[in-house]
Amino acid sequence: MKDLVQCRKEIDEIDRKMTELFQERMQISADVAEYKRVSGKKVFDKKREDEKLDAVEQMAENVYFGRGLRELFSQIMSLSRKYQYTMLADKGQNGFEEVTSLTCGEKDAVAFFGEPGSYTEQALMCALGEVCKRKSCSTFSAVVEAVEAGTAKYGVVPIENTTTGDISDLYDLMAEHEVYPVAEQVIKIEHVLAAPEGATEEGIKEVFSHPQALLQCSGYFAKRPELLQRACSSTSGCALEVSRSKDVTKAAIASESAAKRYGLTVLRRGLNNENVNSTRFLVLSKVPVFTSEADKVSICFEIAHESGSLYRILSHLIYNNLNMTKIESRPIPGKQFEYRFFVDFDGKLSEAAVQNALTGIREEASRLKVLGCYKSFV
């Protein structure tokens, strides 16, 4: 039996030789990158890589070594591609322009989801100020279409709640329309139960609100199962409709500012299941810009439905030392059991690491869209 110290010495010598060979291989990869740059060939050649992996696997003495070699060379070729991408990376900003700050004057229209008094309007005023012309919209689509058509300079929409999670419709709209998030705002959500003057909490039979708000207050309904829950398009819109009805058996779950705006009496505060209940809102623009203080990038991509495809894409973030902060998936319309992925990560479009990662992802994904780059609120 060999001595352990001797075994380790032999392994160290093999590792030294492997290190030299790896570096020699990577230097040749640089020559390959230059050839592909001149010829216009794609870096990722899946057919060539599969043939290479099959060949090295067949060189092994046994099945276990074969699988190990396949994994080893798969990683080596992945690193080779990423090295080539650093030399071929688009040093531009993916079609985005860097600006000092966002501007919004008294003549600029800003579309927002919901009626006046909504949480979205609160987010709008916090993010852009109060001087702009505010345009309420009853649907997310209407906000996006107003921005895309140019009838609104910006649009403000909710994207995520700390209690009920993502608002998935917005992801699909951003993927399919030419609008870009340029800022985000977080608003603390404090729901109240509000009804027309003369109503009592005990006399309420129906409660109206947005489906997300109803979910966020599910604990209240668990204690009062006799109440009928009525879903509508927005919390502020429900407050308006309940006010117009003057029906003392109807109540709305909305913000206190909406209740006050529409002349409703607050019957109960603190309806949220969670004391810490906040919603993240995005400011959308037709113009792809990012401010000098931006520190978050949002992208969406589509990939082949095959083993390892998602790992290959995300490995570009790891290789470039970029911290992924969020990932979501959504079904691709018209494609059964195929998904589009939405990813947020720390960084800025003007940074080399971000440019390198996006070059690799664009090369290897079937579709990539850079949704936006903006200052993270948290």
* Region label for 117, one of left (φ > 0), alpha (ψ between -120 and 50) or beta (otherwise): left
Residue 115 near residue 234, CB atoms below 8 Å: yes
Per annotation, catalytic residue among 113, 279, 341, 345: 279
CA angle, residues 348, 351, 357, in degrees to nearest 5? 90
Provide φ and ψ at 300, rounded to 5°. Answer: -135, 150
281 is catalytic: yes
Q: How far apart are CA 173 and CA 145, in angstroms?
A: 9
- Distance from chain centroid for Cα 311: 18
Residue 340 near residue 332, CB atoms below 8 Å: yes
CA angle, residues 190, 193, 199, in degrees to nearest 5? 155
Per annotation, catalytic residue among 208, 281, 290, 301: 281
One-letter amino acid of 56? V
SS3 302: strand
Please state at what angle helix 168-176 crosses helix 140-149, rounded to 10 degrees: 20
Length of the chain: 378
Q: How far apart are CA 5 and CA 87, in angstroms?
A: 42
Q: How far apart are CA 168 and CA 330, in angstroms?
A: 8
Q: Which sequence positions are flagged as catalytic?
A: 279, 281
